[in-house]
Amino acid sequence: MRELVVQVSFALYAALTLGGAVWAVTAKSLVRALLGLTLSLMGVAALYVLIAAPLVALMQILIYVGAVVVLIFFAIMLTRAQAEQEEAGARDTGRYLRAGAAGLAVAGLLAAACLRHGPKISGTASEIPPSDIGAAFLGPYVLGFEVISVVLFAAMAGAVVLAFERRKPR
């Protein structure tokens, strides 16, 4: 019974994730594409919960849905004026075919390699306390932890410098 529930919920969440992703790349309106992206992110968060990583699922919702999606929404609003006709114009099928072929080729190659040479293990996921992740961050991986904060600072400062309106004397 428990197995069945897990399998059914995995199928549901995987369908939600991939369906949201397909909606995000095919929707004509960018706001609808963003809604599809949010659905997909929520599906991935549910998959994280299913694999016994609730902290990562919480961070996924907090960072992606709470921050990144809002940022992209700001980007849509700041470039609103012509967003509609940019996506509406020039629907040539050749471009779609080439893009689909490229995506399928890369992912299919990786999937074939994974199917043939993937590790033959059937481990069960176990939940670990968040303090272990904190110990990993402040123990052996403290350099990466500090570097990510420097990267975030550099990105913020770069964004401010780029978007800052210079008042040139004319």
Which contacts qualify for 139-144: CB closer than 8 Å, 24 or more apart?
none
- Give the Cα separation of 158 and 150 in Å (integer): 12
Among 148, 167, 168, 169, binds other proteins (CB under 8 A): 148
Angle at 19 between CA 124 and CA 77, to 5 degrees: 120
**In the complex, least distance from residue 1 CB atom to other proteins, rounded to whole angstroms:** 18
The answer to whether residue 138 forms part of the interface with other proteins (CB under 8 A) is no
Residue 142 binds other proteins (CB under 8 A): no
Residues 60 and 150: their CA atoms lie apart, in Å, by 21
Q: Which residue of 4, 5, 143, 163 would you call a contact of other proteins, by CB under 8 A?
A: 163
Q: Is 46 in the site for other proteins (CB under 8 A)?
A: no
Interface residue with other proteins among 3, 119, 143, 166 (CB under 8 A) is 119
Cβ-contact 17, 44 below 8 angstroms: yes
When asked if residue 125 is in the footprint of other proteins (CB under 8 A), the reply is yes
Q: How many residues bind other proteins (CB under 8 A)?
A: 84
136 binds other proteins (CB under 8 A): yes
Length of the chain, in residues: 170
Contact 50, 10 (CB under 8 A): yes
Residue 111 beta carbon to other proteins: minimum distance, rounded to whole angstroms? 5
Contact letters (x/-) for other proteins, 62-91, by CB under 8 A?
A: -xx--xx--xx-xxx-xx--xx--xx-xx-
Distance CA 57, CA 14 (A): 15
The answer to whether 22 contacts other proteins (rule: CB under 8 A) is yes
